[in-house]
Structure 1
């Protein structure tokens, strides 16, 4: 078995393609609690209260799509070594190692996973001064759930190639993968097509989580599902839809994993385990439709067009 190409430090940011960047930017900056750090005609970069230069990039697109998921690694040497190992394993690179021309700068590469997702490995990205944690605003992105047509292949790639570890399963429907002590940074959901299921934003505490929900209510926005507390991960949840229809989540209190002590388990998919509090009930048809998204071939779409 091949050794993982790199040791991921954390989930840094997510890029989403949306048809109306202005509407989504206004939502995330004026309602959701993020702040614009840079913008141009087709892109907006937004930060949370933490030190990351940006945690969300919104880019103009004909339809909703995943641009890329960015993971932090520690040094340029790790990026270079990852590239060498990726090439040796036949994993395609969209961007060779080098200085990044993104708003946050840094040094990195972009690879393509088996379903066409663009994954960035980067280091030396600009940081910003952390904001006060008194306000009920997100620290940053804590996890992304991805719909997959082959959950076993997806899990194999992210564990064997990118070195992530499986924390838990929800039957054979969902897999929760970690790259640090957080229970999951990526989760895969078996689905009919490849797409973004939702993006989750970490709140400082349960109090901030509830105050954030209250702030959204003040803006006339109610949850698609929640508030509640999941079984896998033990995190609080409340899901909303942004102007593009993409699902965004407030969450807090995610389980912390102690390596060599954590026991991976298979959870049953029943309402009392999807919401331990019993406050949210099972997900509705509406929230499931939003989470299904639209089929997104990612980088593979370019090959389809070219052929």
Structure 2
């Protein structure tokens, strides 16, 4: 393929399926720092301090799963052209280009990636007035890490079809992909099954990052892993579990890529590079189990029975 079908502008939002939507909605709105913009019986939409209408959608389901990853593109013409080229490549479309009848409005499509993940490409969504960043709460979603059964196939699809670029590798275990100047918006982790590894939320500064951890501590919530600073991406990290057991991360200071100057490197998977500060130590078995999740085949098939969790690595 000479050119990708689309150029993504940014990661806009993530939809997560959870069994106890009330508990998860309360956690993300009352503890994590997001704000509810809309809700109904089966869904809750939450925003950060940035202009996006919502950065997280929680949807009621029988088990944990990824609902949808939403990327921003700039124009309706780009959405239409992406649909034409995706169809020519044989990439399934769950939603043809058109007006999105979701609470955030907009125009877009939904495609299915090789492992069944639903990926939305959209523009013209409603925006909201940005809020003060004085409080230690998230601006929005900055990246999502996904467990994959075939890291090379996943990287090939997201680079050659969706136009993302590989920023770095962590040996042949993880690949970090960008769509703008942020070091990564998506990362893939080689694993035994497809699932969500974690969702990361951007804090405005390291001070906001640390104050956010302190706020969670006052709620009786301690990190699964962190605080620390990763080698790949140079971002700070502190990982927590929400009431569904899904992993959420506070992060800040992600490396910024200058396209003509950045050199992709392969990082060794050693403790001193997974945490440059040396404050967090290596991830525990509990962290690895949470990040492994349960198998999620998405749009490819009905969910399979939960499998015993297998350790996976994260960054």
Normalising TM by the smaller chain, what interval? over 0.9
SS in 2 for 1:204: coil
Cα displacement (A) at 1:72? 0.2
Deviations 1:211-268 (A, max 9, x none): 0000000000000000000000000000000000000000000000000100000000
Separation of aligned partners in 1, 2:35 and 2:118: 24
In structure 2, the partner of 1:289 is 289
Alpha carbons 1:2, 1:161 under 8 Å: kept: no
Distance in 1, matches of 2:129 and 2:185, equals 23
Structure 2 length normalisation: TM-score? Answer: 0.95
Q: How far off its partner does 1:170 sit?
A: 0.1
Tell me the CA shift for residue 302 of structure 1.
25
Q: Once superposed, which parts of structure 1, at least 4 consecutive aligned residues long, lie more than 2 Å away? A: 301-307
Q: Is the 8 A contact 1:158 1:164 kept in 2?
A: yes
Question: How far 1:304 sits from its partner (Å)?
Answer: 26
Deviation of residue 98 (structure 1)?
0.1
Q: Which runs of 5+ in 2 are unaligned?
A: 301-308
Question: Structure 1 pair 147/212, CA: closer, same or farther in 2 (3 Å)?
Answer: same
Change (3 A) 1:287 1:35: same
Q: Taking structure 1 as reference, are residues 131 and 305 closer, same or farther at Cα in structure 2, changes over 3 Å only?
A: closer
| Deviation, structure 1 residue 188 | 0.1
8 Å Cα contact 2:189/2:313 also seen in 1: no
Query: Which residue does 1:139 correspond to in 2?
Result: 139
Distance 1:304 1:213, change over 3 A: closer
Superposed CA RMSD: 4.3
* Matches of 1:303 and 1:101, distance apart in 2: 39
Aligned length: 307
Contact kept, 8 Å, 1:43 with 1:58, in 2: the verdict is yes
- After superposition, give the CA deviation of every residue in 1:171-205 in whole Å (9 maximum; x if it has no partner): 00000000000000000000000000000000000
Offset of residue 305 of structure 1: 31
Q: 1:229 to 1:68 in 2, by over 3 A?
A: same
> Could you list the runs of 5+ residues in structure 1 that have no partner in the other structure?
none
How far did 1:159 drift? 0.1
Q: What is the rounded CA distance, in whole Å, between the counterparts of 2:18 and 2:310 in structure 1? A: 18
DSSP 3-state at the match of 2:310: helix
Kindly indicate whether the alpha-carbon contact (under 8 Å) linking 2:8 and 2:163 is maintained by their aligned counterparts in 1: yes
Decide whether aligned partners of structure 1 residues 75 and 241 sit closer, same or farther in structure 2, where only a CA change above 3 A counts. Answer: same
